[in-house]
A and B are shown apart, each in its own frame.
Chain A
Amino acid sequence: MNTMTPSPLTKVLQKYESELLTEWIGAQVAGSSRGRIPESEVREQSRQFLAALRPAVAGDNLTGIGAQEWAAVRDILKDLSRSRAAQGATPSETANFVFALRDPLLVRLEQEAGTHADQASMRRSVSKMVDHLGLFTFEMFQKTREDLIARQQQEMLELSTPVVKLYDQILALPLIGTLDSARTQVVMENLLQRIVETGAEIAIIDITGVPTVDTLVAQHLLKAVAAARLMGADCIISGIRPQIAQTIVHLGVELSDVATKATMAGAFALALQRLGLCVRRIPKAPTNPGEK
């Protein structure tokens, strides 16, 4: 590659910087249906991008955007994708940031270097460069979203498995959401740990918040029950909704080894009974008018 004379692209980027910027921003604004991102921000991001693009294309390595000289451009695109994803922009809106640059760039390139046949490869590689940058932006956007989903999943896992002490020696485990094997593991560990800490004899597993119970979920539940039993704690499964009772029977899931109750209240009453406790009403103290 001849690095002595600057390539037409470098010349275009230098000579028409402000024109390119104006046209590019115009294309971007036209491309996005809603003006979610303020134009001043778009202008600033575009200016930074062009400034970083100029040294990057100087090496004439237009398609290898993984190379060292493109690091600044990649960083800008990464930040942009991240902020756009956080702002709730659609993937196409975000990718459009880069793709909108193609037309102004090609038009100016033709102006500068003419439409001569020997410039065709130049135009092709510029076009390819924009494609690569666009794809990179898109990938970054998606990665940000995936990270978000993974983080939320983790948070959900941690948040959604509280073990509550209902009474001395009685624990409650209200389950919300679908039980998969990863969650069962967390639930089980939490439950067993709390059994050790509190010395509970009875654990009530409430499945009111579990939307569906299939054979797999039932198996997971029974696993938790068996593990708790090995620790010396009895389990009661409560919060079984009518549909779930029907499903369990239709699926042929064997729950006869475990005490089951329709409501948490019923399970709590059973737990008290097993511990030899009872709840009774305190008789109202007779009001003595003479004491007033």
Chain B
Amino acid sequence: MERIPILKMGEFLLVTIQVDMHDRLAMALQDDLTNSIVKNLSRGVLIDISSVEIVDSFIGRMLSNIAAMSRILDAKTVVVGMQPSVAITLVDLGLSLPGVRTALNVERGMALLRDSIGRQEIGDADSND
């Protein structure tokens, strides 16, 4: 069975979705991703959907689910590279992905993750004092 590759980049995980998502693939991705987060103690997950042209409510829900699972495992999720047409479709479907952070491209998403994690560490350091 085909799987979506999950790349480890330091303390982040990078997932690039380049194929049409179907139910089993999405379930497998959720499975793999949660396992990888735990195994690598990842702090952030970057999901690149710049090659996704068509979305439905299922993909929207999947993105929300992944974000929620990562949050429970203390990793931040950023969805990057959404196409304008995809954004419009998701909004029309009533899925504005609350709780999911977004960025224009991988570079910005990486900066966002670093920024938020850095801020969190400063906050932790402050509370330890």
CA gap between A154 and B4 in the complex, in Å = 44
CA gap between A231 and B96 in the complex, in Å = 11
Asked whether B19 is an interface residue with its Cβ less than 8 Å from the other chain, the reply is no
CA gap between A213 and B13 in the complex, in Å = 43
Residues of B within 8 A of A241 (CB): none
Residues of A within 8 A of B90 (CB): 227, 230
User: Which of A185, A193, A232 meets B103, CB within 8 Å?
Assistant: A232
Q: Please give the residue numbers on chain B whose beta carbons come within 8 Å of chain A beta carbons, in ascending order.
A: 79-80, 82, 84, 86-88, 90-92, 96-97, 102-105, 108-109
Q: Are the C-beta atoms of A199 and B102 separated by less than 8 Å?
A: no
User: Which of A189, A193, A199, A227 meets B104, CB within 8 Å?
Assistant: A199
Asked whether A229 is an interface residue with its Cβ less than 8 Å from the other chain, the reply is yes
Asked whether A188 is an interface residue with its Cβ less than 8 Å from the other chain, the reply is yes
Task: Tell me whether chain A's interface is mostly helix, strand or loop, or mixed.
Answer: helix
A195 in contact with B104 given A229-B96, A231-B84 (CB within 8 Å):
yes
CA gap between A196 and B81 in the complex, in Å = 9
How near does chain A come to B29, taking the closest CB pair, in angstroms? 19
User: Which of A196, A201, A223, A229 meets B84, CB within 8 Å?
Assistant: A196
User: Which of B86, B91, B96, B102 meets A232, CB within 8 Å?
Assistant: B102
CA gap between A199 and B86 in the complex, in Å = 17
How near does chain A come to B72, taking the closest CB pair, in angstroms? 23
User: Which of B82, B84, B102, B109 meets A193, CB within 8 Å?
Assistant: B84
Tell me which residues from 173 to 194 in chain A have a Cβ below 8 Å from any Cβ of chain B.
Answer: 185, 188-189, 192-193
Interface magnitude class on chain A: 10 to 19
Q: Are the C-beta atoms of A227 and B102 separated by less than 8 Å?
A: no
> 8 nearest interchain CB pairs?
A192-B84, A226-B96, A232-B103, A230-B87, A232-B104, A227-B87, A232-B102, A227-B91
Q: In the complex, what residue of chain A is closest to B92 when comparing beta carbons? A: A223
Q: Are the C-beta atoms of A227 and B88 separated by less than 8 Å?
A: yes
Residues of A within 8 A of B91 (CB): 223, 226-227, 230
How near does chain A come to B101, taking the closest CB pair, in angstroms? 8
Q: Are the C-beta atoms of B88 and A192 separated by less than 8 Å?
A: yes
Q: Are the C-beta atoms of A189 and B84 separated by less than 8 Å?
A: yes
